[in-house]
Amino acid sequence: MEHKYPFIPYVADRYDEAEMIRRGRAFYEHVDRRRSVRFFSGEPVPRECVELAVLAANTAPSGAHQQPWKFVLIGDQATKRRIRQAAEVEERRNYEGGRLTPEWREALAPLETTSDKGYLEVVPWIVVCFAEKYGVRPDGSRVKHYYVNESVGIACGLFVTALHTMGLSTLTHTPNPMAFLSEICARPGNERPYILFPIGYAAPDAEVPDLTRKPLREALLHFSCTS
């Protein structure tokens, strides 16, 4: 094919059908073991593990390949404490100050979450993902970004999966509202805090709610045109 821009050949990996299904099942069973964790051990985690997870996230497809994400890594105790304190201020307004609607409270009840975010000081690493609402050229002018939420959401999905693959645990924490993260992480106005990830090993005595996942027949609808 003729191109105006550089193109290179791409050869996707192919497997026979039995191998496709074996691989698909193995991957499904692997990701099905992932749980959101709120009880962590303070054991150190190599920084390289987090870097590899960000490299994996950075492979996500994105609108016009603009890759509108930034991952900020925090490992020092003083910043973790600041984040915990600021998150708890907001969460106390949610849980104790009546900012959560009764319907929201009811939906959250089985998770038994509270305004205590102690895990933010226990974990060896916190990563805050920021979404670039728009880009900024060196001359200060704005670059329109497309499908920012979709792109950053997919990147965060890969990030979570990569951590899980390394035997690490995390939580997609969205302390609400999250504006304090822009200030603590010193991020510019074109970047919006997207998800905060506490990262570490699950505590040996960690517990998670006994949740089930919806069955395939509810997740996958086979539509077919019968005319």
Residues that bind ligand IYR (CB under 6 A): 91, 94, 108, 111, 113, 173-176
Nearer to ligand IYR by Cβ, of 46 and 118: the residue is 118
The two structure tokens encoding residue 159: 């990030």
CA distances from 197 to 37, 53, 184 (A): 10, 12, 15
**Least distance (Å) from ligand IYR to the CB of residue 9?**
44
**Least distance (Å) from ligand IYR to the CB of residue 59?**
27
Nearer to ligand IYR by Cβ, of 108 and 184: the residue is 108
**Least distance (Å) from ligand IYR to the CB of residue 94?**
6
Nearer to ligand IYR by Cβ, of 185 and 196: the residue is 196
Q: Which residues of 106-141 are buried (b: 16+ CB within 10 A; e: fewer)?
A: eeeeeeeeebebebbbbbbbbbbbbbbeeeeeeeee
Collapsing DSSP to helix, strand or coil, 195 comes out as strand
202: amino acid identity, one letter: A
- The answer to whether the beta carbons of residues 175 and 90 sit under 8 Å apart is yes
**Least distance (Å) from ligand IYR to the CB of residue 125?**
18
Nearer to ligand IYR by Cβ, of 44 and 110: the residue is 110
The neighbour count for residue 67, using CB atoms within 10 Å, is 19
**Least distance (Å) from ligand IYR to the CB of residue 101?**
11
**Least distance (Å) from ligand IYR to the CB of residue 24?**
28
Nearer to ligand IYR by Cβ, of 95 and 134: the residue is 95
> Could you tell me the sign of the dihedral formed by the alpha carbons of 213, 31, 220, 217, in that order?
negative
Q: What whole-number distance in Å separates Cα of residue 208 and Cα of residue 83?
A: 23
The torsion of the CA quartet 218, 224, 226, 227, rounded to 10 degrees, works out to 130
Nearer to ligand IYR by Cβ, of 149 and 176: the residue is 176
